Amino acid sequence: MLTYTLIILFAFTMSAICGFIMIPQIISFCKKKNLYDAPDARKIHKSAVPRLGGVSFMPSMLIATIVALLVWVSTCKCNKICVSPWCIFFGIGITIIYITGVIDDIFGVRARVKLLMQIVVASLLPMSYLYINNLYGFLGIYEIPPLVGTILTIGVLVFIMNAINLIDGIDGLSASLTLIALGGLFYIFHREQIWVYCILIAGLMGVLIPFLYHNIWGKEEKNQKIFMGDSGSLTLGYILGVLMIKFCMYNPHVMPYQKGATLLSVTLLLVPTFDVFRVIIVRLINHKPIFTADKNHIHHKLMRTGLTQHQTLISVILLSVLFIIINLTLFNELVVTWIIAIDILIYIAFQYSLDVIIKRKNLQPFVQ
């Protein structure tokens, strides 16, 4: 156990070091090539900021993971690491979505093209026999047919990628919520002693530390600040989605039956998930295209109440942690359907409270 812990810490540390080395180089590259995220009416920042921070995510994670696995093989009793079909398809998928994000950050990619690429990479999972095959009692549903599971898997993975992308509206928010979700997944796989996934997660968590440092505390005037861009948010969303689907798929050869799989997965990404649903509903009510960008996300509304960016970041993080505490407390008391229903009611009450505060400040509850 001590050896595994040291290897996991090694992967985390190496990834963080790679991030601290790569990100300043990326900032310099953006400066030379004039690759900035320019401010506009929809965005929070007021000056141009480099937007390729997410470029560091995949290389840092892969370098740390591969080296850690090689150390693991050389120091542990295992002679080899088995490469399953889903690992190969995962590698193909993350490469495609990463390249799509990089191209979008540099040249721009139409929303429909990005959606198509998301569907393509999401479809790779069922092709590798990795798909959601059990809802563990949500809405009274347990085992589901492969075809239904395939469609659900593609939809869930595409949704998660977009949720992480859309919540990336203020400094540190997307990366912080991803860290919380990764922490929960790490605990789950560590509890089941599935060390390969723990090493992979540690490798991704490590690079988020230097990114958050530059994203939140980096000074624009000193060329230290950077955004993750779509190369980062799409990569994070894809990895999170794949890990959650891996956790939700009941496979007795991997881990025992997890009765709380659906609830835990929803809980770890509850804030970005609910935010996307609410924004889509608001757009439909106002007869707006669902792909139209606006300033109606949870972080926009919190800032319209008078909070600063950092206060808004802390508020959303606390809200996410609150939902985790509530759901873990209710886990053994209520069925998953009722717990998620309670979450929805709490979120609706929270949004209503924000609308009341905004209205009292004589500000518009919805800004196009």
Q: Report the alpha-carbon distance of residue 282 to residue 347 in Å, rounded.
A: 15
251 has binding-site annotation: no
Which tokens hold the place of 143?
Answer: 């085992």
Helices (H), the chain: 2-33, 57-75, 85-106, 111-127, 146-166, 173-191, 195-212, 229-248, 261-268, 270-285, 298-304, 309-330, 336-360
Task: Report whether 242 contacts 90 (CB < 8 A).
Answer: yes
Cα(61)–Cα(19) distance, integer angstroms: 9
- The DSSP bridge partners found for residue 134 are 143
Q: Is 108 exposed, middle or buried (0-12, 13-18, 19+ CB in 10 A)?
A: exposed
Asked whether residue 165 is marked as a ligand-binding residue, the answer is: yes
Query: Side chain identity at 3, as an amino acid letter?
Result: T
Nearest to 265 by CA among 239, 247, 242: 247
Q: How far apart are CA 280 and CA 275, in angstroms?
A: 9
SS3 state at 36: strand
What 3-state class would DSSP assign to 63?
A: helix
Residues annotated within a binding site: 165, 230
Residues annotated within a binding site for Mg(2+): 165, 230
